[in-house]
Structure 1
Amino acid sequence: MNDKELLPWLEKMLTGDEAAFRFVYQTTHTDVHRTIAFLIYNKQDIEDITNETYIRMWRSFHTYDRSRPFRFWLHGITVRQVQDWKEEREIFDEKTIVKWNRSSGYPNSNGSLSYTLFG
């Protein structure tokens, strides 16, 4: 389905029509999911980011310029959502400090690694 065919549904979405949102979701979900799966490898993360993308789309739909292609606008939201997710992940990774316990010999005497997480 092209943007011209989506236009009546997008107009209905502007009024808060949830059925129109579901239709747009069903029509665009495969493309959004495929884009995210190309950039993210964890299946659960892909699902979470896809859901967050559509929440973001719904909340910012009032900013959509109907004179421009809808799919490009949605693609921009999708890519920004992935970037935001990656930044949040990097911040978490930077705040999590792994301190290896080298005092008992590395690895531990029983052959396992010992570490403590600080964060």
Structure 2
Amino acid sequence: MPEYVNTEIPVSRISETGMGFRHEGKEYFSVHFDQELRVYENRCPHFGVRLEWMPDQFLDSSRMNILCSRHSAQFDIKTGLCHQGPCVGDSLLPVQHQVHNQQLWIKV
């Protein structure tokens, strides 16, 4: 049965451009949106590659979209839906999460 696990990442360490992390061999990232956290699998639905162009750099210059470094696809921060690029209509995979004692927990 799936359960939440502690990533041991203090939410205060998640910068305004996001933070990538690994858990049990899977890549994830978290970004802030409207004073909330969003967590997604760090995998482009088009190429299957990691999204960031530099460590912990997941957003475009406007900081309004998640950006794929491989082909500049843009994804809505809130929903993960691709609205520009070769994967329009596809989505990033969201990860259920919670914050306990100021640390990020994800559902696995």
TM-score (norm 2): 0.25
Q: Which has the higher contact order (CA 8 A, sep 6+)?
A: 2
Structure having the larger proportion of residues in helix: 1
User: Could you say which structure has the larger radius of gyration?
Assistant: 1
Of Structure 1 and Structure 2, the greater strand share is in 2
TM-score, normalised by the number of residues in structure 1: 0.23
